Amino acid sequence: MFYRKFLYGFFNLMMLSVCAYSIKSRSEVNKQAITGVLVAEAYSRLPTDDIVLANRTDPLFSGESFGLDTQVLLGDRLRIVLQNIKHRDSRWAKVKLLDQPTFKDGAWRPKVCFMASRAFYAGGSDWQSNAVVISLVASMFAKPSMEGLQLGRLSMGTRIKTKKEVSHGWVEVVLASGVMGCMRTADIIEDEVLDRWSPAIKRDQLMSAALRFNGSPYRWGCSSGFDEKSPALTGVDCSGLVYLAYRTIGLHVPRDAHDQFLAASPIKFGRDLQRGDLIFIAKINAEKNIVHVHHVMIFALPDSVIEATGLGVSTINDLESKKQACTRVISAIKHPCLKKSLKNFWHGQLNDRGELVFFGTFLGDKATYAQLTKGLLK
| Contact status, residue 211 vs residue 308, Cβ threshold 8 Å | no
Lowest mean pLDDT: which of 195-204, 314-323, 352-361, 363-372?
314-323
pLDDT mean over 118-139: 88
- For residue 302, cis peptide bond before it (omega within 30 degrees of 0): yes
pLDDT band at 228 (very low <50, low <70, confident <90, very high): confident
Output the pLDDT for position 79.
92
Question: What is the rounded CA–CA span in Å between residue 74 and residue 279?
Answer: 29
Q: Is 246 found in the same domain as 102?
A: no
Determine the structural domain holding residue 269 and report its residue range: 194-374
Residue 16 lies in a domain: no
Output the pLDDT for position 125.
65
pLDDT mean over 100-117: 93
pLDDT band at 94 (very low <50, low <70, confident <90, very high): very high
Q: Is 103 found in the same domain as 46?
A: yes
Question: What is the rounded CA–CA span in Å between residue 109 and residue 41?
Answer: 19
Stated as kind and residue range, the H or E segment containing 170 is strand 170-174
pLDDT band at 61 (very low <50, low <70, confident <90, very high): low
String of b and e for 63-102 (b: at least 16 CB within 10 Å)? beebbbbbbbbbbbbbbbbebeeeeeeeebbebbbbbbbb
Residue 163 lies in a domain: yes
Backbone angles phi, psi at 225, to 5 degrees: -60, 155
Residue 3 lies in a domain: no
Question: What is the rounded CA–CA span in Å between residue 25 and residue 81?
Answer: 9
String of b and e for 150-181 (b: at least 16 CB within 10 Å)? ebbbbbbbbbbbbeeeeeeebbbbebbbeeeb
Residue 307 lies in a domain: yes
Q: Which of 27-31, 48-52, 132-136 has the highest mean pLDDT?
A: 132-136
Q: Is 141 found in the same domain as 250?
A: no
In the predicted structure, residue 107 carries a pLDDT above the cut 50: yes
Q: Is 143 found in the same domain as 77?
A: no
Residue 268 lies in a domain: yes
Output the pLDDT for position 220.
87
Give how far the C-alpha of residue 370 lies from the chain's centroid of Cα atoms, to the nearest Å. 20
Return all residues near 333 (Cβ < 8 A) that are at least 6 apart: 303, 339, 340, 341
Give how far the C-alpha of residue 202 lies from the chain's centroid of Cα atoms, to the nearest Å. 20
pLDDT mean over 229-250: 93
Q: Is 350 found in the same domain as 203?
A: yes
Residue 170, domain CATH: 2.30.30.40
- Domain boundary at 188, 208, 227, which? 188
Q: What is the mean pLDDT of the chain?
A: 84
Neighbouring C-beta atoms of residue 298, cutoff 10 Å: 25
Q: Is 139 found in the same domain as 177?
A: yes
**How many residues are present in the chain?**
378
Residue 11 lies in a domain: no
- Domain boundary at 80, 95, 122, which? 122
* pTM of structure: 0.87
Name the domain count of the chain. Answer: 3
Q: Is 246 found in the same domain as 147?
A: no
Question: What is the rounded CA–CA span in Å between residue 150 and residue 103?
Answer: 40
